[in-house]
Structure 1
Amino acid sequence: MLRLHYNLEKVSMGLVAGIIVAASIGGIVEIAPLFVIDETIELPDDLRPHTPLELAGREIYIREGCYACHSQMVRSLADELDRYGPYSLAAESAYDHPMLWGSKRTGPDIARLGEKYSDDWHVQHLIDPRSVVPASIMPAYPWLERTLDTEILEGSLATLARLGVPYSADMISLAAADALGQSRPDTDGADGVLDRYGDDVAVRAFDGDPTRLTELDAVVAYLQSLGTLTGAADDISQEVTR
């Protein structure tokens, strides 16, 4: 076998052909099974999709390029487990289009950021990062205080529904109303959000002002949802430590 490989290396085109054949066989072995199974991951029973407000925040997060510095993928390394918590599961991102796992860690990983800090902390951090983290190199985003545009939310949910995200017809048609309702606790709109998305959804004035709906509301709502859409990772972590 070594003699054959040695002789093959002397013939450049033969070596190229051999590489193509080997890569093709490996690709077929890995890819072919995907055509005969319905799902590559098992969805947790408690996994919920993002609310319209959280989804709007996610789109702003992408728009502002936050994913270029923050990953959302806790790896199974001891130091990351100690710092961030349970390692990330593919199932946690099943409804994300596109997924934002990433590999750039200029800033900390935020896969488990939800409810780690207060809403006020996030607001201050976004408006003036160095007011809460003096050594931060993150840019400021003062323009997030402007009013949130909710007109595209219905179309966004409808598109995601076509991709398999379980948004019902009511969720889609009431997307704009639910975005407003999630930022206004003690209203009928807030009750509607909880009815459609579950009692675990955070409903509050994320930017501290319930009289207006801002991009800050959306981004903070999104950040506070990270790592809270399912308890699957915590369940696995508990099983491993037993």
Structure 2
Amino acid sequence: MSMWKHHAIFEKNSLVLLVGILIVIAIGGLVEIGPLFYLKSTIETVDGVRPYTPLELAGRNIYVREGCYLCHSQMIRSLRDEVERYGHYSLAAESKYDHPFQWGSKRTGPDLARVGGKYSDDWQRGHLNDPRSVVPGSVMPRYGFLAETPLDFAHIQEDMQVLAIEGVPYTPDLIAKAKVDIKAQLSPDDPSVADLVKRYPKAVAHASLGGEAGPTEQDALVAYLQMLGTTVDFKLFDAKANWR
């Protein structure tokens, strides 16, 4: 009853309530914002995180264009059920080159933060062409048209230049070799793949199904999906220590 009497002061006097709200907001603001003034970075440095290859970047642009983030998140929370189902919880550093990030808050389909390498390229292509051919209960629409749409990468260098302005470490040399790197990553037997891997560690070459017509949008999207969650060595982290 005594607590109610003290609380009644705020209920009956709007000015006191307003002052109380301002005090609470001020304290909360100091706790949240204060550390940012002396921390050099709020994102931990993680070995292995790298910018997207030009082909992966083109695939990511298609992923965003098609609204894949509306049904698939790329953010595994540090909860036991999520870690056991999807893999190691997401690190902030993994998204530091994403503009915009693809964390998401809706999962009609599974989280894709660790989908890279989980399935073969053929599986990914089959899933895009006809989702129910590999996942009978899937409600995902078909994206078979991507396999018939030529990949337009005429402006990939401009995309990289914009991202470089935003802080992604694309050097003039990486930008200059963008179109060459796209072709190299779609030619597994090409000797230039070795140079690509030097520029983009752990980059994987994928065979293009575009034939003489050139790479397709599906080629780029598969390359993007197959790199998700593959750049960081998670053996260096102990996920179980962070279960809540």
The 2-side partners of 1:161 and 1:229 are apart by 20
- The aligned residue for residue 21 of structure 1 is 23
Q: Deviations over 1:7-44 (max 9, x none)?
A: 12211243133213311331132113213332102221
Q: Structure 2 stretches of 5 or more lacking a match?
A: none
Question: Is this contact kept in 2: 1:71–1:108, CA < 8 A?
Answer: yes
Q: CA RMSD in A?
A: 2.1
User: In structure 2, which of residues 166, 173, 176 is the aligned counterpart of residue 173 of structure 1?
Assistant: 176
The 2-side partners of 1:40 and 1:115 are apart by 29
- The aligned residue for residue 153 of structure 1 is 156
> 1:8 is aligned with what amino acid?
F
- The aligned residue for residue 124 of structure 1 is 126
Q: Deviations over 1:214-242 (max 9, x none)?
A: 100110000000001222x332137849x
Number of residues paired by the alignment? 238
User: In structure 2, which of residues 53, 56, 59 is the aligned counterpart of residue 54 of structure 1?
Assistant: 56
Query: How many percent of aligned residue pairs carry the same amino acid?
Result: 52
Does residue 162 (structure 1) correspond to residue 165 (structure 2)? The answer is: yes
Q: Deviations over 1:141-177 (max 9, x none)?
A: 1221211111121111111112221211111112122
Q: Deviations over 1:97-127 (max 9, x none)?
A: 1111111011001110000000011111111
The 1-side partners of 2:72 and 2:221 are apart by 14
TM-score of the superposed pair, with normalisation by structure 1: 0.90
The 2-side partners of 1:45 and 1:26 are apart by 33
- The aligned residue for residue 30 of structure 1 is 32
- The aligned residue for residue 201 of structure 1 is 203
Question: Is this contact kept in 1: 2:131–2:138, CA < 8 A?
Answer: yes
TM-score of the superposed pair, with normalisation by structure 2: 0.90
Q: How does 1:1-242 map to 2 (within 5 A)?
A: 2=3, 4-145=6-147, 146-198=149-201, 200-205=202-207, 207-209=208-210, 211=212, 212-231=214-233, 233-237=234-238, 240=241
Question: Is this contact kept in 2: 1:8–1:14, CA < 8 A?
Answer: yes
Question: Is this contact kept in 2: 1:54–1:218, CA < 8 A?
Answer: yes
The 1-side partners of 2:239 and 2:74 are apart by 21
Q: Structure 1 stretches of 5 or more lacking a match?
A: none
